[in-house]
Each structure stands twice: as structure tokens, then as C-alpha cells.
Amino acid sequence: MRLFRTATLTAACVIVSTAAFAQTKITVGKVLGGVGLHIPSYVAMEKGFFKEEGLDARFVSLVGRPLLTAGLTGNVDFVPIPSGAAQAILTGAKLRYVVGQSLKPQWIIVTRPDIAKPEDLKGKTMGYARVGAADYDEGVTVLSRFFKLNVGKDYKVISFQGEPERIAALLNNDIQGALVSSPRAPAAIKAGLKVLLRTGDYVPRVGGTFWTTDEYYEKNPDTVKRFTRAIAKGVTYLRENKAGSLPAIKEHLGITDDAEAGIVWDELHNTFGAEMPKNLYREIFESRITDMIAANQWPKDKPMPDPELYLARAALEATLSEMKYVPTKLDAPKN
């Protein structure tokens, strides 16, 4: 009997050990230098939430355009560049959004001290990312809609792939304003710059939303579900645990000071959400269509397709409900 019990226990240990190591390998896109919108994925990685879901996750760090291309070609499984994906979808790509990260744009326009108001940017030069990236669209959209400043007509743009490069150009006075993510604010202010405006106060929409190819989604529904759970855990942990979140913020955003990382958490922790509210999600496509029409890439009289066709909403909401995920409550936008 003792021999039988020992054999049974040994077999059980082998099964547990095998389950622990038989994890599904996935690649997760990360924008080089880190972006505040993507902090839930950083927390999920640092706190082991991917591993808890049986996923052997590895970040693939690239600048925006190469990362988008890697996702479109299936070389990265999950990519957090929703605006670029929307444009790709509108031009024929078969992609599926699967889970959110941020419910409020975190982009800020940082300027030199002599810029007192947005209208003062007229005739100046701004530092954005590439055309089609979120850190291009946000600046163009807000300045155009709310301050009647149109890119190319009222101000010039120089494209910088990385946020640190934009800040450096601003400090050198090569540009007079730059669009960067909110976590850059403390360092920018310390360097003598100012935060002119926050785009999330004007245009509410989701950000950092993860997507994958239709082919990957159809072939790996269980992996997508486990990925969704890991990101939702990252969102929840980030909202509730300041001290535990700081290491991920520091590591992935290049912040060395606990106090500075704490400021980032204080400002952003209640702006994240794995859920995808229809109005905030739809804004991704509406903004893309507006920009594409302006660039003569979309006919003015051609209707926008239903964005819900490209979101795995039923699977997302079922997964969040199953894990008893609590949605985020956002403050109302200024507009």
C-alpha cells in the first residue's frame, strides 16, 4: 500500500511538473522605449500573469512601423498599435482586436516655456511620430478639431520614432512642441518644459488595444482567451497596487526614481481597462477615416464599415465576466 501511495504521489508530481513547463509560447509587441498606454502588459509580464495563464510570453521591442509590420505579417502574435491596425483594416488587412489596455489617451503636448496656449503653436514646428501612429494622430486631431490648427498649413511637423528623441529636440529648440506619452511629464517639467495640454481631455478613445491576425485568432482561441485574462489581471493589479506596480513602470519606461514613477501611477492608474466601450473603440476608426479623407486615401462619400466587425467582443466580454473583472469608471471628458 505504501509503495502504491508513493507511486501515485510521484505520478501526480510529474503531471504537475509537466503542466508547469508545458506553456504556450507567444510574442507580445512592445514599442521601443516604452509607452504609458501599455503599462498593463508590462505589469502582466513583471508580475508573472502570463505564466499564471500558461503562456511563455516574450516581448518583441521595435519602433512603431516595424512593429506594426511584424504584426501584419504574423511575426508578432499580439500588437498594441490600434490606430495603425485600423488603417490596415480599412485597406484590406484581416485583423482582430482582442483586449484593451487604456480607456483614455495619455498623450500630452509638451512645449518650451514661452508657449502659453495651443494657439501659440501657429507657425511653429512640432515633433510627432510617423504618419498613422497614435502619437501623430492624437496631436493632429486635437489641434485641428479644437484649436483650428492644421498640420502643414498652420504648423510644421518633424517625425521622430522615439519619445526621448522628441524631448531632446525640444530642449535643443529644434522644435517648439512635442507629442509624448504622460509618463514623460515629470522628466520634461524637471528639464524646464511645460505640459501644454492632455489629448485625453478632448478626445476620448481606447489606446494600446491589442490585436492579432484573423488567422491566429481562429487557430488559437484558447491562447487568445488566456492572453486576455493576463492583460485584465495586469489592469486590475495596476489599479489597486501602487507599490507593486512601480518596478514595472520604472523598468519599461526607463524611469530611475521611485518618486517619479509614483507620480506616473498617481496620474494614470485609474485610466486603464481591459474592456472596450463601443463609443471609445469606434473613435479609433472615425479618427482614421478623417485623416485618410484628408490624405485622399478614402472617398468622402464612402461609409465607414462597422468597427464591431473587427473586435472579438463576445469572447472578450465572456472572458472578463468569467473572471469577475470589474470595469473602470472614467471621469467625463472636458468636451
Q: Clarify whether residues 6 and 51 are in a common domain.
A: yes
Q: Is 329 exposed, middle or buried (0-12, 13-18, 19+ CB in 10 A)?
A: exposed
Q: Clarify whether residues 76 and 97 are in a common domain.
A: yes
Which amino acid is residue 292, in one-letter code? M
- Cα–Cα distances (Å) from 320 to 214, 270, 280, in that order, read 21, 18, 18
Is residue 18 included in any domain, yes or no?
Answer: yes
What are the φ and ψ backbone dihedral angles of 334, each rounded to 5 degrees?
Answer: -65, -35
C-alpha cell at 266: 498617481
pLDDT in tens, 50-98: 999 999 999 999 988 899 999 999 999 999 999 899 999 999 999 999 9
Q: What is the pLDDT of residue 17?
A: 39
Q: What is the pLDDT of residue 16?
A: 44
Q: What is the pLDDT of residue 33?
A: 83
- 255: pLDDT strictly greater than 80: yes
Kindly give the pairing relationship between strand 107-111 and strand 55-62.
unpaired
Is residue 330 included in any domain, yes or no?
Answer: no
Which residue spans within the chain are E strands per DSSP?
Answer: 24-31, 55-62, 95-99, 107-111, 125-128, 156-159, 177-181, 194-198, 210-213
State the Cα–Cα distance between residues 114 and 121, nearest whole angstrom: 10
pLDDT in tens, 116-136: 999 999 999 999 988 767 788
| CATH label of the domain that carries residue 219 | 3.40.190.10
pTM higher than 0.85, yes or no?
no
pLDDT in tens, 299-313: 999 999 999 999 999
Q: Clarify whether residues 305 and 265 are in a common domain.
A: yes
Structural domain span for residue 58: 2-104+205-322
In the chain, the N- to C-terminal Cα span, in Å, equals 74
Kindly give the pairing relationship between strand 24-31 and strand 107-111.
unpaired
